[in-house]
Amino acid sequence: MKINNYKKYSLLFALLVLLFTACESIVDEKELENTTDVDGVNLVVGQNSSGGNLLVLEMNTPGVTGYWDYNLGTAKTNKVEVVYPIPGTSTFTFIGTLGAEFFEKTIDVTIDVLDTPLEQDWYDLVSENTSAGKTWVFDGAGGDNGLWWFMSDPGNPWGVWWNAGGTCCPPGDAAGSMTFNLDGAANYVYDDGNGNVTNASFVLDTENQRLHLNGASILGYDADRVNPDGVYNIIELTEDKMVLFTPTNGGGTGWTWVLVPAE
């Protein structure tokens, strides 16, 4: 008996459907669920002494993952040890996931004494008297032919492309200053030398050797000179000298700053 074309095609279609169904993988879909709520996240801070500045920040709730923001940087872990340089009450933040949603939770810590020494970079930047702080100025004046504010090779902070400060074109705030202190916070004070003073903040990233300025410009402000994010590589930092550099300034070149403590 011959099978007509319609039946042939119907049979073929049925076989294909069966084959596809048999080969289709079985997916066990599960929705993400929270393992707890924000109130259930337990943050703990240990201190080396009463009011001491050696801290252990810990999130110890099972099933929760994330990282710490300790103001001077971040730690991609649930537990981190920090030598904190700022006396007073500070707020630390844990950012993580409960399973199905992200969250932030904070904890406050009071530091009364800096009984654990800081890294030397802190003392070089703000002095041994961290609350009083330290003021930095340009290492030169307009027309002195010195290298203290100049366009540089993006790959070499000492590769001079145009010595603007030491020749024809010093910045308008060449007589200004930059002051850093740890009086209750990481404070940065920008003085343009023309009667304009701005109170701001900073982050000293000792691990990556970067200085972040938040809320005020670096000396030598110019939209085509400064780093648009306020982040500067630390080329040199000693008690007597600070060299900052950006390979990516607003003008598409590098730029270098050479500063010394104010007398």
70's tokens: 């300790």
What is the separation of C-alpha 239 from the centre of its chain, rounded to a whole number of angstroms? 24
pLDDT at position 169, please?
Answer: 94
The Cα–Cα gap between 62 and 65 comes to 8
pLDDT at position 259, please?
Answer: 98
Q: By percentage, how much of the chain surpasses pLDDT 70?
A: 88
Parts of the chain belonging to CATH 2.60.40.10: 38-111
Parts of the chain belonging to CATH 2.40.128: 120-261
pLDDT at position 179, please?
Answer: 98
pLDDT tier, 99 (very low <50, low <70, confident <90, very high otherwise): confident
* Core vs surface per residue 93-113: b (16+ CB within 10 A) or e: bbebebeeeebebebebebee
pLDDT digits (tens, 9 = 90+) for 166-191: 999 999 999 999 999 999 899 999 99
Question: Does the pLDDT at position 7 exceed 70?
Answer: no
Question: What CATH code would you report for 120-261?
Answer: 2.40.128
Question: What CATH code would you report for 38-111?
Answer: 2.60.40.10
